[in-house]
Amino acid sequence: DAGITQSPRHKVTETGTPVTLRCHQTENHRYMYWYRQDPGHGLRLIHYSYGVKDTDKGEVSDGYSVSRSKTEDFLLTLESATSSQTSVYFCAISESLFGTAFWNNEQFFGPGTRLTVL
């Protein structure tokens, strides 16, 4: 998985509790992303980062916040988890901003975190 780890890999939590997912990379790629993957939907972008402390919203950012204090770490936080946030979450990294160029559009994905909110 191109030097990308996610933790935890599985988590079960209760509605209303805060949850933080961690993505760690060893590739020194500038861009990092959080996606969610749900049945009947393609990957959907939650937030992405284009540098330390530089982040932006994606398509489905409501209910999520992110932080990037170091190049290698990108955290996704659910401040108050809801059942609708039950999903598989993938972190990805890339050298150039995905979707903006013909070249070097390759993203490398982590192994995913399966989150269940009861």
Partner 1 sequence: GESVGLHLPTLSVQEGDNSIINCAYSNSASDYFIWYKQESGKGPQFIIDIRSNMDKRQGQRVTVLLNKTVKHLSLQIAATQPGDSAVYFCAEIGGNQFYFGTGTSLTVIP
Q: Give me the residues that bind partner 1 (CB under 8 A), please.
A: 1, 4, 40-44, 90, 92, 98-100, 102, 105-112
Q: Which of 43/52 has CB closer to partner 1?
A: 43
CB of 82 to partner 1, least distance (A): 23
CB of 38 to partner 1, least distance (A): 9
CB of 79 to partner 1, least distance (A): 25
Can you tell me the distance from the alpha carbon of 13 to that of 8, in angstroms, rounded to the nearest whole number?
12
List of E strands, the chain = 4-7, 10-13, 19-25, 31-37, 44-51, 54-57, 64-70, 73-78, 87-94, 108-109, 113-117
